[in-house]
Amino acid sequence: MLNRRDCVLLALCVVSMAAAGSAQSSDNKPYTLHTGTQVVLTDVTVLDNKGNPVRGLKPSDFEIFDDGNRQKLRSFEAHDDHSVPILNEASQKPGLYTNAALLHPPPVINVWLLDTTTITLMDQMYLTHQLTQAVDALPADEPVALYWRYGQIVNLLENFTSDHERLKAAIHKVMPRMTNQDAQLTTDIDATEQMIAALSPLPGRKNLIWFSGGSPLAIKRGKDWVGPGVDLRPMLDGLEVNRIAVYPVDARGLSWANSGDQSDQHAMMQDTAESTGGQAFYNNSGFVEGVGHFMATDGSFYTLTYTPPGLHDTGKWHAVEVKVKGGYQLSYRRGYYDENKNHSVSSPKRPILADGKPAQAPNTQLEPIIFRARVIAATDLPEEPAASASVGATPATPAPPATTGRKTNYAIRYFLPAADFQQSVQDGKGQVMAGAAILAVNDYGRPVGHAIQVYKLNFDPKQLEAEPNGLLSLDQEIAVPKGQNYLYLAVWDTATGRVGTIQLPLEVPRTQQAQR
C-alpha cells in the first residue's frame, strides 16, 4: 500500500514524465538559446506609476547587469499579444478527456492555484465570493486553468477554459470546506514542484497565481535554503528553466490587526514574487481587482537574453539587475545559479537577436504524445481485447459507472496515435509496446488506487499504411472508492520514452451519490 510520501512521488512521476516533451505546433516551436554556452533569459514586465504596462520599448532602453557587470543583450523580444487561439473542446464532452490543448496553448498562460490548506473556512467564503466576481470580470476569450490543493497532492480542477460557468462551478465545488487536518503535513516546496511538473510541457512564460492564507515558503534572493537541510536549488532551477512566475495572493484580504507572523508571511510572499518575476497581492480588501488588472495586461512584457562570461558550474548564485530609462516599476527574476544545464526555453515566437535578425530554432526536444482517454464503467466496455489494438477505432459511448460495494470499477480506454510510437513488423504483423499508468487520489491528496502496465499492441501494417493517422486503443481498469476523486493518466512509448499525460477530475453521478 502506498504511504503519503509515495503518493506524492508517484504523482510527481506521472505528471513530470511529460516534462521530457514540449508542447508545440507548426506555429509554436520551442527555441534553444545556447550553443555550448549558458544563456540567461529574463522576462521583464515594465509598469508605469499607475500600474499600466509600458509598451514600445527598444533594446537600447534596457540595461542588464550580472553580479554588477553590465551585459550585452543577445536577443530582445517585445510581447504584446492577447490573441487567444480556439481551444480544443473535446475534453468538455462527458467522459472524454484529451491533452490536445497542448498543441494550441494560449499566448499568455495563467494558472490559478487555490491553496485551501492554509485558508480558514471564513476566509474561503470571502475568497469564493471574490473569485466569482473575478471570473465574471474576465474577458470572454481569457482561458484559465484551475488547480486546487487540499492535501499533499495538487489536483487539476479545470483545464484551460474560457467558459466562466465551468470555472465558477469548479470553485464552488471545492470551497468553502473545513480545513484539512493533514495540512500540517504539506509543504509549499512539494506543491511548487508539482506545479512545475504540470506546467513544464507548456511553452513560453507561465503565470502561477497562488491564492493562500499566507505562504510559509520564503525564496530569499541569493539563498538556497529556508531551514536547516532544506535545499531550494532544484525548485528554483525548475521555476527558472520553465519560466514560471509566482504571484502570491493573500486570501485573507485587508487585515486591521497585522500580527508579526502575518507581516513575516507578507515579506515571504514579496520575496517569492520578486525572485520569480511575479507580483504579490496582500493586505488589500480588493486584491482580486489587482489580480484582474494584472490578467488584463499580462500579455505585455519583454524577453531579454544574454551570455555571461566566466560561468564554471560552481553553483554560485548570480544576482540579476535590470534597469529601464524612465524610472518605471519592473518585475523580473532576480537571479540564477551557475550550473551547467541546457536552458531550452520555449516561446510562442522565435526570439529576435539584438541585431534584429531572428534566432535559429532547432527542435531538439521530444514532443508529447497527444491522446484521448474515455472513462467508462468497466462492465460496460464494448467487446474488444484490452491488450490489442485497432487502427481507426471509434470512441466508445460513455455509460454510468458500475458500483459494487464501496468502490466503483472504472475502465480507461486510451486512443493513441499510432504514428507517435516506434513500430516493428514481423511476418506481416505490426506491433508497438506502450505503457500506461493511472494514479487516483481523493480530495485529501491520499492515494485511493493506482495501476501501471505495459501493453503489446498489435495492428495491421497495411491498414495503418492506408490510415496513417489511425489510432491504437487499449483498456486499463482501476477500482476507486465512491465519491469525488482525481486521476493522473500517463502513456509512453517504451522504445523511445516519449510521454503524454492527462489530469482529470472524476465525478460520480449524483443519482449514485444519493444511494449511499
Cβ(441)–Cβ(149) below 8 Å: no
Instruction: List for the chain the helix, strand, coil content (%; round to 5).
Output: 25, 35, 45
424: its cell numbers:
516493428
pLDDT single digits (tens) 62-92: 999 999 999 999 999 998 865 554 444 444 5
**Mean pLDDT over the full length of the chain:** 75
Determine how many CB atoms are found less than 10 A away from the CB of residue 425: 11
Instruction: Indicate the domain borders of the chain.
Output: 28-78+299-345, 82-297, 369-513
Higher-confidence residue: 249 or 404? 249
pLDDT single digits (tens) 127-164: 999 899 889 888 777 889 999 998 778 889 988 888 99
Higher-confidence residue: 390 or 115? 115
3-state SS class at 422: coil
In this predicted structure, the answer to whether residue 119 has a pLDDT above a threshold of 50 is yes
Mean pLDDT of 471-496: 88
CA distance 106 to 109: 6
Higher-confidence residue: 8 or 194? 194
Q: What is the pLDDT at residue 256?
A: 53
The architecture (CATH level 2) of 28-78+299-345 comes to: Sandwich (2.60)
Higher-confidence residue: 328 or 512? 328
Amino acid at 240: E
CA dihedral 362, 366, 367, 369 (to 10 degrees): 170
pLDDT single digits (tens) 413-458: 999 999 899 999 888 888 999 999 999 988 877 888 889 999 999 8
Cβ(100)–Cβ(370) below 8 Å: yes
Q: Which class for 57: exposed (0-12), middle (13-18), buried (19 or more C-beta within 10 A)? A: middle
Percent residues over pLDDT 70 in the chain: 69
Residue located via cell numbers 504483423: 429
Q: Using only the alpha carbons of the chain, give its radius of gyration.
A: 24
User: Among the CATH numbers 3.10.290, 2.60.40, 1.10.287, 1.20.120, which is that of 369-513?
Assistant: 2.60.40
* Cα separations in angstroms, 56 against 72, 249, 278: 20, 29, 21
Q: What is the pLDDT at residue 152?
A: 79
pTM of the model: 0.76
End-to-end Cα separation, the chain, in angstroms: 26
Q: What is the pLDDT at residue 92?
A: 52
Q: What is the pLDDT at residue 241?
A: 84
In this predicted structure, the answer to whether residue 490 has a pLDDT above a threshold of 90 is yes
For CA atoms 301, 305, 306, 307, the dihedral sign is positive
Mean pLDDT of 107-114: 88
pLDDT single digits (tens) 311-368: 766 778 888 999 998 889 999 998 888 765 544 344 433 444 555 455 544 443 458 8
Query: Is 82-297 in the same CATH topology as 28-78+299-345?
Result: no
Residue 2 bridge partners (DSSP)? none
Provide φ and ψ at 171, rounded to 5°.
Answer: -65, -45
User: Among the CATH numbers 3.90.1150.10, 1.10.3720.10, 3.40.50.410, 3.40.50.2000, which is that of 82-297?
Assistant: 3.40.50.410
Which regions of 243-340 does DSSP assign to beta strands (E)?
A: 244-250, 300-306, 317-324, 329-331, 335-337
130: its cell numbers:
471574490
